[in-house]
């Protein structure tokens, strides 16, 4: 994960490090990995969340499920049916929103061992 993050300009690295630390704080027993070429946190043996940096945004990828309608509940952010939420560079990533995403993913994993 560190190698991935260090490959970006300083402003993007700062955002990626913040995201990494926030996820670690919210789910301290998750382990870091790289999946699909992106930083990923694994919890209870399953992917909890992926994230990546792009030209204009940071993408957060809660692992898609059959019921991704909850992702559309984030007004003001670009989302897709593939479980993607985009946070434009220069715009703060809201902690409460990210906390809710992580909690939703933990509940999904917990209920489907």
Here the CATH number for the domain that contains residue 81 is 3.90.1150.200
Cα–Cα distance list, 109 to 7, 8, 103 (Å) = 31, 31, 10
Tally of domains in the chain? 1
Q: Let me know if residue 111 belongs to a domain.
A: no
Checking DSSP bridges between strand 84-88 and strand 57-62, what pairing results, if any? antiparallel
Q: Let me know if residue 21 belongs to a domain.
A: yes
pTM for the whole thing?
A: 0.86
Q: Let me know if residue 113 belongs to a domain.
A: no
> Where in the sequence is the domain holding 50, given as residue range(s)?
2-106
| List of residues 6+ apart from 69 with CB closer than 8 A | none
CA 6, 8, 11, 14: dihedral to nearest 10 degrees? -30
Q: Let me know if residue 52 belongs to a domain.
A: yes
Local confidence pLDDT in tens for the 113 residues of the chain: 999 999 999 999 999 999 999 999 999 999 999 999 999 999 999 999 999 999 999 999 886 555 556 556 666 777 766 678 889 998 888 898 899 889 988 998 888 76
């Amino acid at each position: 994960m560190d190698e991935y993050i260090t490959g970006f300009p300083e402003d993007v690295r700062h955002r990626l490090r913040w995201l990494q630390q926030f996820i670690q704080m919210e789910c301290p027993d998750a382990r870091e990995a790289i999946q699909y070429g992106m930083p990923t946190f694994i919890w209870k043996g399953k992917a909890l969340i992926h994230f990546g940096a792009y030209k204009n945004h940071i993408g957060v990828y809660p692992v898609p499920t059959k019921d991704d309608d909850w992702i559309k509940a984030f007004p003001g952010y670009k989302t897709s049916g593939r479980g993607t939420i985009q946070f434009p560079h220069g715009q703060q990533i809201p902690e409460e929103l990210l906390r809710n995403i992580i909690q939703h993913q933990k509940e999904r994993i917990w209920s489907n061992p």
